[in-house]
Amino acid sequence: MKILVTGGAGFIGSHLVRRLVVQGGHEVVNLDALKYSGNPANVKDLEGKASYRFVHGDIADQPLVERLLREHRIEGVINAAAETHVDRSILDPGSFARTDVVGTGVLIEESRRAGVLRFLQVSTDEVYGSVETGSSTEDDQLAPRSPYSASKAGGDLLALSYWTTFRFPVVVTRGSNTYGPNQYPEKFIPLFVTNAIDDQPLPLYGDGRQRRDWLAVEDHCAAIEHVFLQGEPGHVYNVGGGNERENITVAEQMLAYLNKPRNLIRFVHDRPGHDRRYAVDCGKVRQLGWKPTVPFDVGLRATVEWYRTNESWWRKIKSGEFRAYYEEMYGKRLLDAGGK
Ligand code: TYD
């Protein structure tokens, strides 16, 4: 199949593109705007393959998207392009509305007009909002609480409206917190691992007892591919790893793997509107034939090992734009918590 993957130089996108090209035998056009977290190094190994093409551009660029879809006779589209970090959505909400809502709108409208046969929107379990007990099913009402999750909910619902209104064959995945190699070190796991390697403090928000369900990136990509090929049009599929953990437990586990002391953890001022817990019921996607395969202990250890042995990948990032972001996000928090 000829597939346009957007955001394919990002974390999940790059793993997905590799899977589709190398294992799936698909032809992939990778459209990525290469903003701060899009990184050509993530897909360097695919360069030169006949079934792979990289295009630098934005999903909100209507003439470009229109041209690409027709020029490459694209049959399927997977939208993995997004602004994804909750903390950045608090600093700059506008870019989230632009990419996650408006960008999705441009991409799906052009896909419909070009007669694309299949469109998958990569969404998130965060659209359900904070779930104190139990787990969200696909029919639950959406209750996003951050500019990030609200923007993702906008793109998610917009995509679904194309099935209701136009019978355009859309499927949506709502994945849980994803971890693995190549994740930009603003996110919890890579930030903590790379800080710990450098004996820097680990800024744990609030009481550290928030809970997330961790999903290995390879399992997440397998689910996206499976739903893309097998999912029923107009349907949503929750995707979770089945590894619900408190943040503090994950932080302690990473420190143990690195042989670093627990006193690197600093309890810092909480994130505004911090969602306490996410949890999804994955019965529907299991019914479709997907299940997670990576035990959390195995996946986390391998991820820690990847960051330990790929320092050049993340040191380049952490010495660039990231420094100003880190100072803005954590400078005062760490001072207030008793020193950097
Ligand atoms: P994150 O990776 O930002 O994902 P999300 O907020 O989308 O779930 O954060 C995962 C959890 O870790 C979340 O509860 C917030 C917490 N966290 C910290 O305690 N400190 C940090 O510096 C970061 C980035 C996250």
Residue 36 alpha carbon to ligand 1 centre in Å = 18
Q: What is the pLDDT of residues 311-322, one digit of tens each?
A: 999 999 999 889
Q: What is the pLDDT of residues 272-326, one digit of tens each?
A: 999 999 999 999 999 999 999 999 999 999 999 999 999 999 999 999 889 999 9
What's 14-65 look like in SS3? HHHHHHHHHHCCCEEEEEECCCCCCCHHHHHHHCCCCCEEEEECCCCCHHHH
Hey, whose CA ends up nearest to atom 22 of ligand 1?
Answer: 203
Beta-bridge partners for 244: 213
3-state secondary structure of 216: strand
Q: Which of 52, 128, 148, 184 is catalytic?
A: 148
User: What's the mean pLDDT when you consider all of the chain?
Assistant: 97
CB contact set of 102 (below 8 Å; sequence gap of 6+): 60
Position 24 pLDDT exceeds 60:
yes
Q: Which of 125, 156, 225, 244 is catalytic?
A: 125
User: What number does CATH give the domain 2-179+213-239?
Assistant: 3.40.50.720
Token code pair at residue 168? 């355009």
Indicate the residue type of 18: R
pLDDT class for 339, splitting at 50, 70, 90?
Answer: low
Position 173 pLDDT exceeds 80:
yes
Position 21 pLDDT exceeds 80:
yes
Position 340 pLDDT exceeds 60:
no
Residue 252 alpha carbon to ligand 1 centre in Å = 15
Percent pLDDT > 90 in the chain is 99
Residues of the chain with CATH 3.90.25.10: 188-211+246-273+297-335
pLDDT class for 338, splitting at 50, 70, 90?
Answer: confident
Find the residues whose C-beta lies inside 6 A of ligand 1. Answer: 86, 126, 177, 187-188, 191, 203-205, 210, 212, 247
At residue 136, φ and ψ (nearest 5 deg) are -80, 135
pLDDT in the model for residue 23: 96
**CB-count exposure of residue 35 (10 Å: 0-12, 13-18, 19+):** middle
3-state secondary structure of 78: strand
Catalytic, 148? Answer yes
Question: What are the helix and strand counts (H, E) for the chain?
Answer: 13, 13
3-state secondary structure of 334: helix
Residues of the chain with CATH 3.40.50.720: 2-179+213-239
| Answer CATH for 188-211+246-273+297-335 from 3.90.25.10, 3.30.930.10, 3.90.850.10, 3.40.190.10 | 3.90.25.10
pLDDT in the model for residue 102: 98
Token code pair at residue 116? 């694309």
Q: What is the Cα Rg of the chain in Å?
A: 19
Catalytic, 126? Answer yes
Q: What is the DSSP string of 140-175?
A: SPP---SHHHHHHHHHHHHHHHHHHHH---EEEEEE
How many Cβ atoms sit within 10 Å of the Cβ of residue 209? 12
Mean pLDDT over residues 215-238, rounded? 98
Report in angstroms the alpha-carbon separations of 201 from 212, 312, 334, 338: 21, 21, 8, 10
Q: Are 226 and 239 in contact (CB under 8 A)?
A: no
- Among 127, 149, 202, 247, which is best to mutate for testing ligand 1, by the most ligand atoms less than 8 A from CB? 247
CA 188 to mean position of chain CA atoms: 12
Q: Are 59 and 296 in contact (CB under 8 A)?
A: no
With CA atoms as reference, report the closest residue to 39 among 66, 11, 15: 11
Residue 170 alpha carbon to ligand 1 centre in Å = 30
